[in-house]
C-alpha cells in the first residue's frame, strides 16, 4: 500500500510541523506514512509521536544499534531469540521474522531477566527489521513491513504465562510499537493450542487498534502455515525451505540469578510515588561521567530520564534522553551503566499517574566512577513531586 496524493500532502505537513525537512529518517516517505496510518490520519498526534521518536533516534544513536557487538553477543539472545530471516517471496517485499515462542522458558524469564538489557536487545532487533524494510521499499518502490511468525509449539498454560503476557511482554511490545508503528504488516501465530483464545483475550486490550487486524491465528504446524506466506527459496531448511540455515531454538532453562547475593552488592533507597503523581530526582552531571543505575520495583511504574542545560522544573524544557517506558514488576534488581553525553541537569522521573488510589515504591540508587575506578554513591540535588 502506498500513500495517496492526499496522504502525501499530509506527510509533508507533518514534516513541516516538526521542522524535520532535513531529517534523513523523514526523507523516506514510507517512514512518515507509517506514523500517519498508526494515528488514524490525525496529523497533530502523529507529528507529536514522530517528533519524540526522532529525538530518541538521536539521543541513543538508534541508527547504530544494529552494529552493537555487545548486544549481538549477549547470552540473553540465546534464551529469547527472534530470527530476522529476510525477504519472504520473489513477488513480495516483506521481511520474515520467526520466533519459537512456545520453547521460551517463560517462568525463568520473568524470575531472572534484567529489563534494561532485554529492551536494548529487542530495540536492536526492531531497528534491524526497520532498516531491512526501508531497503526493500527503496528497491521496490512499494511499502514493506515485517511478517512475524510466532510458533507456540510446546507452550503450556499457567497463571505465570498470563502474568508475563500482560506484564513484561505487553510492556516490551508496547514500547516497541510506540517507536516502530505499522512496522509489522502481519503477525502469524502457528501451532496455536486450544487455550489460545484465553491468551488472545489477555493480550488484545493492550494491542494498538491498528495491529489487532494484522493477527492471524492457526492451529497448523509452522511448516504448513508458513509456506502459504513465504516462498520455499526464502525459508530455512527446518521450516521446509531451501536455505541451508536453520532457525534458532531458545536455550533453556533460563539462568538463575542469586537474589540474595545481588541485594548484598548495593543498598537501595526507597522512593514512594503517590497515586497520579510523578517523583523526580535531580542530578548535575558532566559529559563523560560514567553512571551506574540500580533499580527494583515490585509493581509497575513509568520511568523516564531527561536532560536540560538549565535548572528548571518546567518539563516542557526537558529533553528525553533514553527510551522512557513503563517498567513491569520483576524479581531482579536491574542495573546498567550510562556514559553522560552532555553537561547539565538530569531529571529522573518516576511516574504513578495510572493509579487513582495506591502509591507505589521504587527502590533505586546511582553511583559514579571516579578516576581511580572507585564507585561512589550519588545523592540527588533534590527530590520533588509533580
pLDDT at 204: 81
User: Does residue 341 contact residue 59 with C-beta atoms inside 8 Å?
Assistant: yes
Residues 194 and 296 in one domain: no
pLDDT per position as a tens digit, 45-59: 999 999 999 999 999
The set of residues, in sequence order, having a beta carbon less than 8 Å from that of 100 and lying 6+ positions away, is 81, 151, 153, 154, 247, 248, 249, 250
Q: Which residue has the higher pLDDT, 198 or 51?
A: 51
Bigger pLDDT: 310 vs 356:
310
Q: Which of 62, 82, 100 is the last residue of a domain?
A: 62
Task: Determine, yes or no, domain membership for 257.
Answer: no
Assess whether 150 and 216 both reside in one domain: yes
At 203 the pLDDT is 82
Residue 245 lies in a domain: no
CATH number of the domain that residue 301 is part of: 2.60.120.680
- With bands split at pLDDT 50, 70 and 90, how would you rate the model's confidence at 211? confident
* Cα dist from 57 to 52, 127, 171, whole Å: 9, 10, 20
pLDDT tens-digit map of 319-368: 999 999 999 998 899 999 999 999 999 999 999 988 889 999 999 999 99
Range of the domain at 47: 5-62
Same domain membership, residue 220 and residue 172: yes
Asked if the structure places residue 251 within a domain, the reply is no
Position 209 confidence tier, pLDDT thresholds 50, 70, 90? confident
> Considering the chain, what is the average pLDDT of its residues?
93
Contacts of 243-249 spanning 24+ positions with Cβ under 8 A: 243/85, 245/85, 247/83, 247/85, 247/98, 247/100, 248/78, 248/81, 248/83, 248/100, 249/100, 249/103
* Residue at 107 is within a domain: yes
13 in the same domain as 133: no
In sequence order, the 6+-apart residues with CB closer than 8 A to the CB of 5 are none
Pick the more confident residue, 90 or 2.
Answer: 90
**Would you say residue 363 lies in a domain?**
yes
Per-residue model confidence (pLDDT) at position 199: 87
Residues 278 and 362 in one domain: yes
- CATH number of the domain to which 118 belongs: 3.40.525.10
Whether residue 263 is contained in a domain is answered as: no
Provide the domain count of the chain: 3
| Reported pTM | 0.94
Position 61 scores a pLDDT of: 96
Q: Are residues 204 and 110 in the same domain?
A: yes
Q: Which of 84, 207, 104, 119 is nearest to 160 (CA)?
A: 104
Q: Are residues 34 and 82 in the same domain?
A: no
pLDDT band at 274 (very low <50, low <70, confident <90, very high): very high
Task: Verify that 9 and 118 share a domain, yes or no.
Answer: no
Q: Are 84 and 147 in contact (CB under 8 A)?
A: no
Residue 262, pLDDT score: 56
225 and 342: one domain? no
Amino acid at each position: 500500500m502506498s500513500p495517496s496524493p492526499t496522504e502525501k500532502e499530509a506527510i509533508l505537513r507533518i514534516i513541516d510541523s516538526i521542522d524535520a525537512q532535513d531529517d534523513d529518517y523523514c526523507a523516506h516517505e514510507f517512514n512518515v506514512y507509517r506514523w500517519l496510518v498508526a494515528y488514524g490520519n490525525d496529523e497533530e498526534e502523529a507529528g507529536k509521536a514522530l517528533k519524540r521518536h526522532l529525538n530518541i533516534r538521536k539521543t541513543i544513536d538508534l541508527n547504530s544499534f544494529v552494529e552493537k557487538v555487545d548486544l549481538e553477543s549477549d547470552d540473553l539472545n540465546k534464551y529469547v531469540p527472534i530470527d530476522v530471516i529476510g525477504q519472504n517471496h520473489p513477488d513480495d517485499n516483506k521481511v520474515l521474522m520467526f520466533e519459537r515462542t512456545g520453547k521460551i522458558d517463560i517462568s525463568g524469564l520473568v524470575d531472572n531477566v534484567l529489563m534494561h538489557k532485554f529492551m536494548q536487545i529487542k530495540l536492536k532487533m526492531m531497528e534491524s527489521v526497520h532498516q531491512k524494510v526501508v531497503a526493500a521499499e527503496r528497491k521496490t518502490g512499494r511499502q514493506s513491513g515485517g511478517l512475524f511468525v510466532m510458533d507456540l509449539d510446546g507452550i503450556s498454560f499457567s497463571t505465570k504465562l498470563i502474568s508475563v503476557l500482560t506484564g513484561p511482554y505487553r510492556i516490551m511490545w508496547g514500547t516497541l510499537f510506540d517507536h516502530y508503528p505499522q512496522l509489522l504488516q502481519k503477525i502469524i501465530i502457528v501451532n496455536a493450542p486450544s487455550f489460545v483464545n484465553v491468551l488472545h483475550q489477555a493480550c488484545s486490550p493492550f494491542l494498538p487498534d491498528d495491529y489487532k487486524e494484522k493477527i492471524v491465528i492457526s492451529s497448523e504446524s509452522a511448516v504448513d502455515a508458513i509456506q502459504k506466506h513465504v516462498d520455499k527459496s526464502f525459508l530455512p531448511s527446518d521450516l521446509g525451505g531451501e536455505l541451508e540455515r536453520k532457525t534458532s531454538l531458545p536455550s533453556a532453562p533460563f539462568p538463575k540469578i542469586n537474589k540474595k547475593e545481588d541485594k548484598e552488592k548495593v543498598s537501595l533507597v526507597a522512593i514512594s510515588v503517590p497515586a497520579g503523581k510523578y517523583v523526580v530526582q535531580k542530578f548535575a552531571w558532566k559529559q563523560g561521567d560514567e553512571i551506574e543505575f540500580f533499580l527494583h520495583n515490585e509493581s509497575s511504574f513509568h520511568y523516564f530520564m531527561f536532560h536540560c542545560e538549565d535548572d528548571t522544573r518546567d518539563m516542557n524544557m526537558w529533553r528525553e534522553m533514553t527510551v522512557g517506558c513503563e517498567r513491569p514488576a520483576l524479581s531482579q534488581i536491574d542495573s546498567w551503566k550510562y556514559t553522560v553525553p552532555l553537561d547539565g541537569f538530569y531529571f529522573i522521573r518516576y511516574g504513578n499517574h495510572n493509579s487513582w488510589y495506591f502509591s507505589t515504591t521504587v527502590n533505586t540508587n546511582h553511583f559514579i566512577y571516579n578516576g581511580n575506578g572507585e564507585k561512589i554513591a550519588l545523592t540527588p540535588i533534590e527530590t520533588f513531586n509533580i
